Amino acid sequence: MALSSLFDFDVKPPRYAVMGNPIAHSKSPLIHTAFAKQTDQRLSYSAIQVDAGGFKQAVGNFRASGGKGINITIPFKQEAWALVDERSERATQAGAVNTISFSDDGRCIGDNTDGVGLVRDLMENHSIQLSDARILLLGAGGAVRGVLGPLLAQQPAEIVIANRTEEKAVELAAEFKRNELLRGCGFQSIGEQPFDLIINGTAASLQGDLPPIPASAVSDKTCCYDMMYGKEPTVFMRWASEQGAAKVIDGLGMLVEQAAESFYIWRGVRPETAEVIVQLRTGQN
């Protein structure tokens, strides 16, 4: 054994990364580096841009170079789901993987921490009650699929999934086999009654678009949550404020909470999220 390897400070720290495209503006390296500092864990965390068609190779290369875990973001979450050897129950249900761990015996294990990240942000950071709540979910793509299971687990009174392409919402609702409290529809069939919580999981905010939601969906008791975040409030958030929503929240807390759950899976330590959310919000890192 080389003498240097006897000393911990000479051993390379375990390597983690986020893979996606685009990836340059990812906040994951900042978040995981802050978690590592806070919990006294030695690790490195980088952002890797992967081109279309190159995902499997990139994962293989990272693993071969001693990588311990990878976060996966747009557009590779479904590909990651197909690639892993094993999946957690929540990843199976979500149809997408955002966290890969390489076990010491060589298995590649996929998990999905997006849903639990959303639920923790809503319940713990914003004190929003989900049990018995009437929830409107906008969109029926990967983002919404990923959070449906954890939201249903909180036993809401009802979840309506509304999507531009109605069939996709109807199919997604049917897949979860919870007819008594889950309904899929087009935006025109949302109904007249206000919701307790509206979550925007469409990609409309990215294009600066607003899904056509009836004003009656919002009352002064409604919380509106956009899974997106940016320096400025999204169009959906601005609309929600104009309708007089009780609370309007962006997806930064969800981002940090899903990262915390990944960190816990990899390191067995649960970081404090509040201080990291504040750091990101105020641009301190």
Measure the CA–CA gap between 137 and 81, rounded to whole angstroms: 23
- H-type helices in the chain, by residue range? 28-38, 55-64, 77-83, 89-94, 114-120, 142-152, 166-175, 235-242, 252-267, 274-281
Instruction: Respond yes or no on whether the N-terminal peptide bond of residue 75 is cis (omega within 30° of 0).
Output: yes
Binder among 163, 243, 258, 273 for ligand ATR (CB under 6 A): 163
Q: What minimum distance in Å lies between the beta carbon of 129 and ligand ATR?
A: 25
Measure the CA–CA gap between 131 and 129, rounded to whole angstroms: 6
20 lies in the binding site for ligand ATR (CB under 6 A) = no
152 lies in the binding site for ligand ATR (CB under 6 A) = no
Site residue total, ligand ATR (CB under 6 A): 15
SS3 label, residue 16: strand
> Which of 145/267 has CB closer to ligand ATR?
145
202 lies in the binding site for ligand ATR (CB under 6 A) = yes
The stretch near ligand ATR (CB under 6 A) out of 10-18, 105-113, 136-144, 176-184 is 136-144
The stretch near ligand ATR (CB under 6 A) out of 102-110, 162-170, 229-237, 242-250 is 162-170
Measure the CA–CA gap between 274 and 255, rounded to whole angstroms: 12
The label of the residue with tokens 């320096």 reads 231
Q: How many CB atoms lie within 10 A of CB 37?
A: 12
Q: What minimum distance in Å lies between the beta carbon of 85 and ligand ATR?
A: 23
Binder among 207, 220, 231, 268 for ligand ATR (CB under 6 A): 207
Binder among 15, 56, 63, 164 for ligand ATR (CB under 6 A): 164
Report the residue number whose CB is nearest to ligand ATR: 141
140 lies in the binding site for ligand ATR (CB under 6 A) = yes
143 lies in the binding site for ligand ATR (CB under 6 A) = yes
Indicate the residue type of 162: A
Q: Copy the structure tokens of residue 78.
A: 């479904």
Give the neighbor-by-neighbor strand order of the sheet with 158-162: 182-185, 158-162, 134-138, 197-200, 223-226, 247-249
The stretch near ligand ATR (CB under 6 A) out of 28-36, 158-166, 190-198, 269-277 is 158-166
CB 73 within 8 A of CB 18: yes
| 91 contact partners, CB below 8 Å, separation of at least 6 | 81, 84, 97, 110, 111, 112
- For helices 274-281 and 28-38, the axis angle rounded to 10 degrees is 140
The stretch near ligand ATR (CB under 6 A) out of 110-118, 200-208, 228-236, 245-253 is 200-208
Q: What minimum distance in Å lies between the beta carbon of 61 and ligand ATR?
A: 25
Q: What minimum distance in Å lies between the beta carbon of 132 and ligand ATR?
A: 26
- Residues 211-250 as x/- pattern, contact with ligand ATR by CB under 6 A: x---------------------------------------
147 lies in the binding site for ligand ATR (CB under 6 A) = no
Q: Which residues are catalytic?
A: 77
Q: What residue ranges bind ligand ATR (CB under 6 A)?
A: 139-143, 163-165, 168, 202-204, 207, 209, 211
